[in-house]
Structure 1
Amino acid sequence: MKKIILLIAIVSIALFGYFSFLPEKAQIQRARAIPNVVVAKVEVMPIRDEVEALGTGKAYESIIVTSKVAEIVNQINFDDGELVEKGAVLVMLRNDEQKAKVAVAEVKLAENLRELDRIRALVTSKTIAELERDRLQSLIDTTRAEVEQANAALHDRIIKAPFSGRLGLRQVSVGSLVTPGEQISTLDDVSKIKLDFSVPERFIQELKPGKLVEASAVAYPDRVFKGVVTSIDSRVNPDTRAVIVRAVMPNSDFSLLPGMLMKVKLIKQSREALLLPEAAIIPIQNNHFVYVVNADNKVEQVKVTLGIRTRGWVEITNGLEVGKQVIIRGILKVRPGDEVKVQQAENFKFAQVEGTEKSA
């Protein structure tokens, strides 16, 4: 019995000693465990307000190469997809009959001119009435018109490129009969591309010629094509409540083709702003806060006002100054007043941050 009482006493003393020193040990451990956090300095960076839309590329100039007359094809001077200059002869149609008509009209004109020369002296001497000279002059004018008409019909048999561009696939062969409106090929000026896209009507006040656009195509995922807004449609579509905007983009290497679907970013505004990663924002009811590390490496809670939100970024319009260190990782490990060890974030500063709104 005495042994049991002695054992109980020893255990009680041990437990009393353990619990007496436990808070002190815990405080020592807490004092030593200073949390590590990742911070980023608040900096001014470029930010863009932009609208995203889908657009369709069109050739700057585009025609269907066709004939004005029904005639047999004598000669074809182009290959599929060939680049041609303005004025290049593409197709020659049979023109023997037109050449003969031109020759006849020129002969008649020359004869009438000679006749006019002969009677001028007679008119001067009153041998022939002036009426005869006037009749002959009218005949000469008519013959000149016939020459021009014959030459026009001859030129209609020569199909030329009205502008420089790239030809499409050839649809006719030598010896085939072409008729007015029948497609011989296509000709597109793709040195520049017109890009048409829809923008919601709520942005109409901000739409002006000269606004910059950036576009990308599925065929070129790593390229950004830049252009300028040149015109805005005069009507809003009553079904979509959107207006068509047209931009023009250089295409000197002919990478873009008419008909391509492109993702467009219309840059409404570009400016400088204070930016932070969204991970730094602590929402509490209707307010927003950040944890700032002061000069003593202590955490301070600061209320901020937010501006534009974008992909992982947020604009700070009030509450912070340039150079402040804001915790962006490790927020859950600290509270206001805690001492922390800071580590600077890598790749925090980007060349440009985009604020995007998608069009309807």
Structure 2
Amino acid sequence: MQKTPVWKQLALSAALIAAGVAAWQYRAEITALWQPAESAERERGGDGTGVPVLVADVAMAEDSISFSAVGTALAQRSVTLRAPAGGEITDLNIAPGRSFSEGDILMRLDDEDQRLALSLAEARQERALSEQQRYTGLRDTGVTTAARFEDAMTAYRIAEIELEQARADLADRVMRAPFDGIAGLSEVEVGDRIEPNEPVASYDDRSTILVEFDLPEALLPRAELGMEVRATSPSLDTGEMIGALTAIDSRVTATTRTARLRAAFDNPHDAVRPGASFTVTLDLPGARYPILPELALQFSGGALQVWRVDAEGLAQPIEVRLIRRRAGSVLVDGPLEEGDEIVVEGLQRMRPGRAVNVLNAGGTGAT
């Protein structure tokens, strides 16, 4: 068999390559020449009115967030009762769960020495007062000197101070309720000797329960004092408690990027104790955004877009930014208005300015 010359093979290869390049450059024109007429008709919609699509109406919705966190209950006021002085306990009224009013006596210490000291101070004060009155009368007659009068006045002032000190020492032998509240377990008993400032028992005002929890800094601008807060706890058998946001910390914790919030809840039946765990829920409002079905989103050219049908029945791409997904719908930020028709079915055949045939006139709104 006679072989084909090499130069013919090279020429044939060059021709095939040139034909392939030309076909690639003019592929659109070639496709149009070979496309059947009925295929073009189907692209317009079958009846010449446009590509058949389903649309949905754009609605507006608030970007509200329901935030939940775990918090710890605190009493409205909570203190540790401490001995005002040292000595032997002679009377103890503290019992777990017992309620007291402000000023009620909680504990007494042995006060015999203090009562004797008070009697002595009263006697000295009476004598100093008598001397002060006597020298005041003599000064008016010129019998006594100014120095003696000043000594008598000084002795009287010292006696007055000693009397006040004795009264204070006697008062310190009694521990009283600092406010209306409920006592906890006592750490001492009658007959114990305690030192000044030694812990005696916990004491709480539980008429209002405070729950503290952390809120991420990204949500902090949405929080406002007075917002309703819902709370549940394993220690509650009465269901959900409703309270209000009463305090927002002035700082964000650098390590957690959160801020501490505090909510207050009425506790009229004393059902909640300090230290209990709570799950709190706070509804945080946000800005209003267009909401539409998630099916309407299309990713193209590195960005999200939707196809809006204009007044002339033509589809136009609108670039949007995703804000939040919500049960099959999406909140987006973009140049959309309430009532705009957005394509949700038929996206694959969309081109800028392409005529569409809306099969569900009026659309359906997103929820």
> For residues 243 and 46 of structure 1, do their structure 2 counterparts lie closer, same or farther at Cα, with a shift above 3 Å needed?
closer
How far is 1:309 from its partner? 0.9
> For residues 344 and 186 of structure 1, do their structure 2 counterparts lie closer, same or farther at Cα, with a shift above 3 Å needed?
same
Pair 1:156 & 2:176 matched: no
- Which letter does structure 2 place at the counterpart of 1:226? A
Pair 1:89 & 2:109 matched: no
> For residues 72 and 125 of structure 1, do their structure 2 counterparts lie closer, same or farther at Cα, with a shift above 3 Å needed?
same
> For residues 142 and 79 of structure 1, do their structure 2 counterparts lie closer, same or farther at Cα, with a shift above 3 Å needed?
same
Aligned to 2:260: 245
- Which of residues 264, 269, 272 in structure 1 aligns to 2:288? 272
Aligned to 1:232: 250
Pair 1:126 & 2:146 matched: no
The DSSP-based 3-state class of the residue aligned with 1:305 is strand
How far is 1:149 from its partner? 1.0
Q: Deviations over 1:300-358 (max 9, x none)?
A: 89756244215535313236433467799xx69x997473599979xx76xxxxxxxxx
How far is 1:169 from its partner? 2.0
The CA distance in 2 between the partners of 1:229 and 1:343, in whole Å, is: 46
The DSSP-based 3-state class of the residue aligned with 2:64 is strand
The CA distance in 2 between the partners of 1:209 and 1:291, in whole Å, is: 38
- Which of residues 154, 162, 166 in structure 2 aligns to 1:146? 162
Question: Higher Cα Rg: structure 1 or 2?
Answer: 2
> For residues 93 and 301 of structure 1, do their structure 2 counterparts lie closer, same or farther at Cα, with a shift above 3 Å needed?
farther
Contact 2:108-2:173 within 8 A present in 1 as well: yes
The DSSP-based 3-state class of the residue aligned with 2:286 is strand
Contact 1:56-1:197 within 8 A present in 2 as well: no
Pair 1:179 & 2:195 matched: yes
Contact 1:171-1:184 within 8 A present in 2 as well: yes
Pair 1:169 & 2:163 matched: no
Aligned to 1:31: none
- Which of residues 339, 343, 348 in structure 1 aligns to 2:359? 339
Q: How does 1:200-239 map to 2 (within 5 A)?
A: 200=217, 206=221, 210=225, 212=227, 214=229, 216-219=231-234, 222-223=240-241, 225-233=243-251, 236-237=253-254
Contact 1:55-1:264 within 8 A present in 2 as well: yes
> For residues 109 and 223 of structure 1, do their structure 2 counterparts lie closer, same or farther at Cα, with a shift above 3 Å needed?
closer
TM-score by length of 2: 0.64
Aligned to 2:153: 137
The DSSP-based 3-state class of the residue aligned with 1:154 is helix
Gaps of 5+ in 1: 1-37, 350-360
The CA distance in 2 between the partners of 1:269 and 1:341, in whole Å, is: 33
The CA distance in 1 between the partners of 2:118 and 2:325, in whole Å, is: 71
Contact 1:67-1:178 within 8 A present in 2 as well: yes
Identify the range of structure 1 (109-118 vs 150-159) with the bigger mean alpha-carbon deviation: 109-118
- Which letter does structure 2 place at the counterpart of 1:67? A
Percent of aligned pairs sharing the same letter: 20
How far is 1:47 from its partner? 2.6
Pair 1:48 & 2:64 matched: yes
Gaps of 5+ in 2: 1-53, 350-355
> For residues 273 and 252 of structure 1, do their structure 2 counterparts lie closer, same or farther at Cα, with a shift above 3 Å needed?
farther
- Which letter does structure 1 place at the counterpart of 2:159? T
Aligned to 2:299: 284
The CA distance in 2 between the partners of 1:188 and 1:141, in whole Å, is: 41
The CA distance in 2 between the partners of 1:78 and 1:310, in whole Å, is: 56
How far is 1:131 from its partner? 1.6
> For residues 194 and 163 of structure 1, do their structure 2 counterparts lie closer, same or farther at Cα, with a shift above 3 Å needed?
farther
TM-score by length of 1: 0.65
Higher percent of residues as strand: 1
Contact 1:307-1:317 within 8 A present in 2 as well: yes
Aligned to 1:197: 214
The CA distance in 1 between the partners of 2:307 and 2:322, in whole Å, is: 18
RMSD: 4.4
The CA distance in 1 between the partners of 2:155 and 2:321, in whole Å, is: 86
